[in-house]
């Protein structure tokens, strides 16, 4: 085989591999469920921080009134 034929064969094989991997489906269900679960935890922590912050402000407000 000539060198140019080997190059063409290698190029064709590379193009085929790229086209096969481009059409492959990626399963994203595990990532989606992990993000959803993390969202619930973040909302819980955020609500706790907000309640704590408001509680401190109310305590300061009431202590100044007395």
Tens-digit pLDDT profile for residues 11-33: 777 777 766 655 567 778 888 99
pLDDT of res. 47: 97
Helices and strands: H and E segment counts in the chain: 2, 0
Report which of residues 38 and 2 the model is more confident about: 38
pLDDT of res. 24: 61
21: closest CA among 29, 13, 11?
13
Residue 4 has pLDDT above 60, yes or no: yes
CA atoms within 13 A on the CB side of 2: 3
58: closest CA among 50, 44, 46, 48?
50
State the Cα–Cα distance between residues 8 and 54, nearest whole angstrom: 70
pLDDT of res. 23: 59
| Three-state SS at 2 | coil
């Amino acid at each position: 085989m000539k060198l140019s034929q080997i190059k063409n064969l290698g190029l064709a094989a590379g193009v085929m591999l790229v086209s096969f991997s481009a059409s492959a489906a990626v399963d994203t269900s595990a990532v989606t469920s992990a993000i959803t679960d993390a969202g619930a935890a973040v909302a819980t922590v955020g609500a706790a921080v907000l309640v704590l912050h408001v509680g401190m402000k109310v305590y300061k407000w009431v202590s100044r009134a007395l």
